[in-house]
Amino acid sequence: MGQATIRDVAREAGASVASVSRVFNRLPNVRPELKERVEAAACKLNYVPHAGARNLSLARTGVIGVVLPDLHGEFFSEILRGMEREAAMRGRHLLLSNMHMGLGDGVEALRNMRGRVDGLIVMAPHIDPDLLFAHLPASIPAILLNGPENRQGRPELRIDNAAGARTMVEHLVAAGRRAIIHIAGSQGNIEAAERARGYREAMAAAGLVPVILPGNFDEESGHLAVQRLQMQQMEVDAIFAANDMMAIGALVALRDMGVDVPGQVAVAGFDNIPLARLISPGLTTMAVDIADLGARAINRLSAVIDGENVPQTELRYPSLIVRNSTTQTIA
């Protein structure tokens, strides 16, 4: 007797081939009794669904497209590590692309993905998602990661950046810091804007004057911000940078100038990249489980691809990690 086919299973279960296919592909709205009949028939006939054939029948590639602002640096390495781990567990592969610049790069990246992937994860905090997704057919599943709100009904997965920034300022104020300088992220970046907003709100609540210096989410801009503070002789007893790389740049610059951290100036960041705990002094930061964020994005997109309903917006709340760069209390 030859190997059983899906038609044999359908005949044994008293169901249509289409219904059996829905059961094997774990699609929604399958009646429990139908699922039991199909699984019992498959077991009796020793039928094993073929993953490749299943993807072909659904016009699936088994590939998830990932479009990020960059593919280099600690943050993106961590988020891709989480994505790759979750995708492998689900038998999927990743196709990566980046968009360093603006809308044109993003549109080109999406165009190159079409027909090659089952769905997309797009992280574009510097681009209007409605303009970007206008170039993506509604039939292609997509998850927006850490971007501005979209009006197309695409599911979103975001960090509550403003709440995290407020928590960090409250920590610094509780430690006796009053001249708290914020080094902002890239202009036009929604994450940078939200973290700056949270900083301003917390400073106002504490009755303190906010001072924001420009940055670009890299170590060099953190270093340059400290040089600017020195040149302008600005009063400062704490620096809160919008990400860890800028905070590390600021910390190194202060150390080169002979400034005691945290004795004279406390330094804090955001993201909790692996390097944050390895430098000296260890960097106080708002922890985002970056790898888990990437894994969760794959998890949610996989659910959308399989026809499941997912919440429109899922917020992830960062947690305060206190290390030696802020621990000395000012009397």
Cα gap 178→236, rounded to integer Å: 8
Helix (H) / strand (E) containing 31: none
Residues 221 and 282 placed together within one structural domain of the fold: yes
Q: What is the CA radius of gyration of the chain?
A: 25
pTM: 0.74
C-beta atoms surrounding 328 within 10 Å: 15
- Picking from 277, 235, 311, 274, the residue whose alpha carbon sits closest to that of residue 77 is 274
Q: List Cβ neighbours of 325 (8 Å cut-off, separation of 6 or more).
A: 247, 251, 261, 262, 266, 267, 268, 281, 282, 283, 284
Does the residue 329 lie in any domain? no
| pLDDT tens per residue across all 331 residues of the chain | 456 788 888 999 999 988 887 776 656 567 888 888 988 888 788 775 554 444 544 557 889 999 888 777 788 899 999 999 999 988 899 999 887 666 777 778 788 887 889 999 998 887 888 888 787 777 889 999 988 888 888 899 999 999 999 999 999 999 999 999 999 999 989 999 999 999 999 999 999 999 999 999 999 999 999 999 999 999 999 999 999 999 999 999 999 999 999 999 999 999 999 999 999 999 999 998 889 999 999 999 998 888 888 888 999 999 999 999 999 655 4
Does the residue 50 lie in any domain? yes
Domain that holds residue 35: 6-57
CATH number, domain containing residue 22: 1.10.260.40
E strand residue ranges, 45-126: 63-68, 93-98, 119-122
User: What is the domain count for the chain?
Assistant: 3
Does the residue 323 lie in any domain? no
Strand partners, 318: none
Residue 301: Cβ-neighbour burial (10 angstroms; 0-12, 13-18, 19+): buried
Mean pLDDT, the chain, rounded, equals 88
Residues 96 and 146 placed together within one structural domain of the fold: yes
CATH number, domain containing residue 143: 3.40.50.2300
Residues 103 and 250 placed together within one structural domain of the fold: no
Helix (H) / strand (E) containing 254: helix 244-256
Residues 300 and 154 placed together within one structural domain of the fold: yes
Residues 181 and 280 placed together within one structural domain of the fold: yes
φ, ψ at 163 (rounded to 5°): -65, -40
For strand 63-68 and strand 119-122, is the pairing parallel, antiparallel, or unpaired?
parallel
Distances in whole angstroms, Cα of residue 231 to Cα of each of 27, 222, 225, 234, 253: 63, 15, 10, 8, 13
Residues 86 and 40 placed together within one structural domain of the fold: no
Q: What is the DSSP string of 123-181?
A: --TTS-HHHHHTTS-TTS-EEEES----SS---EEEE-HHHHHHHHHHHHHHTT--SEE
8 Å CB contact between 282 and 254: no
Residues 246 and 218 placed together within one structural domain of the fold: yes
Question: Under DSSP, is residue 57 helix (H, G, I), strand (E, B) or coil?
Answer: helix
Cα gap 120→321, rounded to integer Å: 32
Angle between helices 244-256 and 219-231 (to 10 degrees): 50
Does the residue 135 lie in any domain? yes
For strand 180-183 and strand 266-271, is the pairing parallel, antiparallel, or unpaired?
unpaired
Q: List Cβ neighbours of 16 (8 Å cut-off, separation of 6 or more).
A: 10
Does the residue 327 lie in any domain? no
pLDDT in tens, 285-329: 999 888 999 999 999 999 888 888 888 899 999 999 999 999 965
Does the residue 331 lie in any domain? no
- Domain final residue pick, 39, 57, 75: 57
Does the residue 152 lie in any domain? yes
Residues 52 and 21 placed together within one structural domain of the fold: yes
Cα torsion through 39, 41, 43, 45, rounded to 10: -150
Helix (H) / strand (E) containing 49: none
